[in-house]
Amino acid sequence: MPTVDARPFPFAFELNTTALLVIDMQRDFLLPGGFGESLGNDVAQLRRTIEPLTVLVNAWRAAGLPIIHTREGHLPDLSDCPPAKLKRGPMIGQEGAFGRVLIRGEYGHDIIDELRPAEGEPVVDKPGKGAFYATDLHKILDNEGIRSLVVTGVTTEVCVHTTVREANDRGYECLVLADCVGSYFPEFQQAGLRMIAAQGGIFGWVAESPALIKEIAR
């Protein structure tokens, strides 16, 4: 059984029941001049994940293992946008540098070119922070017999954390890769990762991607 050096202790997993989850690597969040930067955020904090995540995705594909991508966004009429979210996100649906902000089908809503999904890789469109809320993700995973998730993407303390917590409640074991998740706020990045691995791995494990790549390449 492959085993990855991780916190709080090594993460052991079966290759045939493990999927890579790539969360919200979208232009609206990562591109200079986009929605994320328009809020005053430093997109370089997120863009540092692109290179290691690209290496990981390529290795994962080469091993023939499943990859699932997610995109946060809404229908053009915003009918699927929770009222509390819309109230706190007044730019949602408004015109931005890359089209209407967080609207499905717009240029900014789609995944960055470097991590474009390959043919056959599911893309889960989600209206909330977590990847399980109002989506078919659990059904997709269950149909494939997936029991463990390698979690990557942005942002660490919001969509990544929410998804890991949702996954934990559903019985999935999660390995979060520190170099492949990112936050606009370095202090949130560190705190978010510590929370996942705290108390004996209350939500999951934390590791670096080279340790995982070494195991899947054996």
Instruction: Enumerate the domain spans of the chain.
Output: 3-75+110-216
What would the pLDDT profile of 103-119 be if each residue is shown by its tens digit?
999 999 999 999 999 99
Q: Is the dihedral of CA 179, 61, 20, 100 positive or negative?
A: positive
Right CATH number for 3-75+110-216 from 3.40.50.850, 3.20.20.150, 3.40.50.11390, 3.40.50.620? 3.40.50.850
| Single-letter amino acid, residue 64 | G
Mean pLDDT of 127-152: 98
- Please tell me the distance from the alpha carbon of residue 102 to that of residue 3, in angstroms, as a whole number: 38
214 is catalytic: no
85 is catalytic: no
Catalytic residue among 24, 81, 129, 174: 24
Cα–Cα distance list, 68 to 121, 123, 137, 164 (Å): 6, 6, 9, 14
- Please tell me the distance from the alpha carbon of residue 143 to that of residue 171, in angstroms, as a whole number: 15
pTM greater than the 0.95 cutoff = yes
- Residue 31: which of 138, 121, 130, 110 has the closest Cα? 110
Catalytic residue among 28, 81, 126, 174: 126
Give SS3 for 69: strand
Mean pLDDT of 121-127: 98
Catalytic residue among 28, 81, 110, 159: 159
